[in-house]
Amino acid sequence: MSNPQAEASTARQLDLGLGLPSLAIEPDWKAQQRLWGHSFHPMSSYLASFPAALAHAFVARYSRPGDVVFDPFSGRGTAPLQAAAEGRVGVGNDLNPFAYLLTAAKLEPANPAEARTRLTALRLAWAGSAPEWQARADAIQADPAGGGPAPVAEEVAVAFHRRTFAQLLFIRAALDLDDRVDRFLAAAAAGILHGKSPSYLSTLMPNTFSMAPRYVREYAARTGFSSPERDVFDCLAAKLDRLFRQPLPRGAGIALLGDARDAGTRAVEALRERRLPERARLVVASPPYLRVVKYGYYNWLRAWFLGLDSRAIDAALDDAHHRAPYLAFLREVLRDLQPTLTEDGVAVLVIGDVATDRGRAIQHGLGLAERVWEEAAAPEGYHLAGIAVDDIHAHRKMTKLWGREAGRATQIDRILVLASGEAGRRRAVSGAHLPVDWTWPPRLRSL
Ligand SMILES: C[S@@+](CC[C@H](N)C(=O)[O-])C[C@H]1O[C@@H](n2cnc3c(N)ncnc32)[C@H](O)[C@@H]1O
């Protein structure tokens, strides 16, 4: 049933200069604490991830416990993890194997006993073979290119204290990424690989991303850098304590590795195999932007630890498109997604309005959400509920200061809210006004 009050209020256009109906969703997620949400979210930093609170704003409005919530570009797994933590079935897909590893670790996690037992077994095995691994580590650090059976880049060898490096070589060889428990430990270890506080294994770089290898090599040589000794097993045990601060997500979860263009089809197959509801009631996703985010390059140390090839990752991902192929790509994604949504399904796409790439102006980046609607979603038969912005107040402030040019100087994400049909559109419009409970962890009565 339509909600006339909501429809009228939605019809009030905010002055965003978009030319499309705006959806008055208050960006309450901006007001939440940085680490709002399930304790698995900060397992490892991931570039361009959205906050768990943003995922909650839509999971709470547009899905119910038991519904499938899907993200074909899941990154670190924010949307499906938060959905699973709220009793939905969380499904995430990404083409980046590092993103897949993080999403799988969170959606198909080890339980605390399994993770701690495995860590103890690794600690014991290390104790029995430490001299051998230490000799190997020392040989590599003395001569990274030639000092062992598997050459290691100089910037990797220089990043760690000799004992930490030996322990890392050991657990890197011992962990099997196809095993659920080992994968959880590997993802947790990747999250503490580098950063500035004592919980990290190397202090060479900030936690958010790996700095350019050449810069790192030169910096280490110039300053005579030597990382403090950190015990991998102690740091990992402390990391597990932080991760397990909250109960495991109570909803089921599925992680998929592959291209978003057939992610919907693969998600349905995976759900069917597990005898779960087959269609998604909600999609929450932030597609790769026109901006160049090199997920491999900026994660080279984590990629080394996980045995992934940074260059291959960057070659495979769809981040560097110009506008026309980007829109064609999203149209294919939306085409595949359409039949996987329920009849009243809602799809929320967080789309950056990109004016610059690392300081350089780029063409065709502005008004992207409108173009996505016109050229990718409308032709595939979607219904438009409206566009919300993720920071109405900042936008108003900037507009007041700088006039309409403000949009050129700021990056403001647009949130395109689509529906698979008219029932979904009405649900999306009336749901925009629903109050959202921001208590986290949730009170018992809402479980
Ligand atoms: C903006 S990020 C999404 C971040 C995510 N919302 C989170 O909170 O972590 C976009 C993601 O799209 C992925 N990606 C790029 N091209 C892809 C493709 N063709 N198929 C699937 N995923 C792709 C990237 O690996 C990246 O994780």
* Domain regions of the chain by residue span: 4-96+252-434, 112-243
Q: Is the CB of 58 under 6 A from ligand 1?
A: no
Q: Is the CB of 286 under 6 A from ligand 1?
A: yes
Position 404 pLDDT exceeds 90? no
Say how many Å lie between the CA of residue 299 and the centre of ligand 1.
14
User: Cβ(366)–Cβ(355) under 8 Å?
Assistant: yes
Least confident segment among 9-23, 26-40, 289-303: 9-23
Position 446 pLDDT exceeds 70? no
195-220 pLDDT tens trace: 999 999 999 999 998 889 999 999 99
Alpha carbon nearest to ligand 1 atom 8, residue = 49
Say how many Å lie between the CA of residue 71 and the centre of ligand 1.
9
End-to-end CA, the chain: 27
Q: What is the mean pLDDT of the chain?
A: 88
Q: What are phi and psi of 102, to 5 degrees?
A: -65, -45
- What does the pLDDT read at residue 423? 98
- What does the pLDDT read at residue 391? 64
Residue that has been written with the tokens 């291959």 in this structure: 312
Q: Which of 44, 96, 308, 333 to mutate to test the pocket of ligand 1 (most atoms within 8 A of CB)?
A: 96
- What does the pLDDT read at residue 389? 79
- Reported as a pLDDT band with limits 50, 70 and 90, residue 412 is low
79-114 pLDDT tens trace: 999 999 999 999 999 999 999 999 999 999 999 999
328-373 pLDDT tens trace: 999 999 999 999 999 999 999 998 765 554 444 444 445 788 889 9
Please name which of 425, 261, 291, 285 lies closest in space to residue 346, comparing C-alpha atoms.
425
Instruction: Check residues 49 and 379 and name the one with the higher pLDDT.
Output: 379
- What does the pLDDT read at residue 443? 73
Position 301 pLDDT exceeds 60? yes
- What does the pLDDT read at residue 56? 98
Residues contacting 9, CB < 8 A, separation 6+: 24, 433
Alpha carbon nearest to ligand 1 atom 7, residue = 49
**Beta carbons within 10 angstroms of residue 378's beta carbon:** 15
Find the DSSP H helices in 225-322: 232-243, 263-273, 300-306, 310-316
Q: Is 48 left (phi over 0), alpha (psi -120 to 50) or beta?
A: left
- What does the pLDDT read at residue 246? 96
- What does the pLDDT read at residue 366? 54
Position 398 pLDDT exceeds 50? no
d(CA 443, CA 62): 20
Say how many Å lie between the CA of residue 148 and the centre of ligand 1.
35
Q: Is the CB of 46 under 6 A from ligand 1?
A: yes
Position 26 pLDDT exceeds 90? no
Q: Is the CB of 336 under 6 A from ligand 1?
A: no
Q: Is the CB of 237 under 6 A from ligand 1?
A: no
- What does the pLDDT read at residue 175? 98
What SS3 state is found at 362?
Answer: coil
User: Cβ(338)–Cβ(283) under 8 Å?
Assistant: no
Q: Is the CB of 73 under 6 A from ligand 1?
A: yes
- What does the pLDDT read at residue 17? 45
Say how many Å lie between the CA of residue 351 and the centre of ligand 1.
12
Instruction: Find the angle CA(311)-CA(140)-CA(297) to the nearest 5 degrees.
Output: 20
Q: Which of 35, 73, 74 to mutate to test the pocket of ligand 1 (most atoms within 8 A of CB)?
A: 73
Instruction: Check residues 129 and 10 and name the one with the higher pLDDT.
Output: 129
- Reported as a pLDDT band with limits 50, 70 and 90, residue 411 is low
Position 2 pLDDT exceeds 80? no
CATH architecture of 4-96+252-434: 3-Layer(aba) Sandwich (3.40)
250-286 pLDDT tens trace: 999 999 999 999 999 999 999 999 999 999 999 999 9
Q: Percent of the chain having pLDDT more than 90? A: 70
Alpha carbon nearest to ligand 1 atom 26, residue = 75
- What does the pLDDT read at residue 409? 37
Atom of ligand 1 nearest to the CA of 98: 25
Q: Is the CB of 45 under 6 A from ligand 1?
A: no
Q: Is the CB of 49 under 6 A from ligand 1?
A: yes
CA distances for 162 relative to 128, 132, 224, 333, 377, angstroms: 18, 13, 14, 46, 53
Say how many Å lie between the CA of residue 81 and the centre of ligand 1.
15
Position 191 pLDDT exceeds 50? yes
Atom of ligand 1 nearest to the CA of 287: 10
Least confident segment among 20-29, 165-174, 178-187, 296-305: 20-29
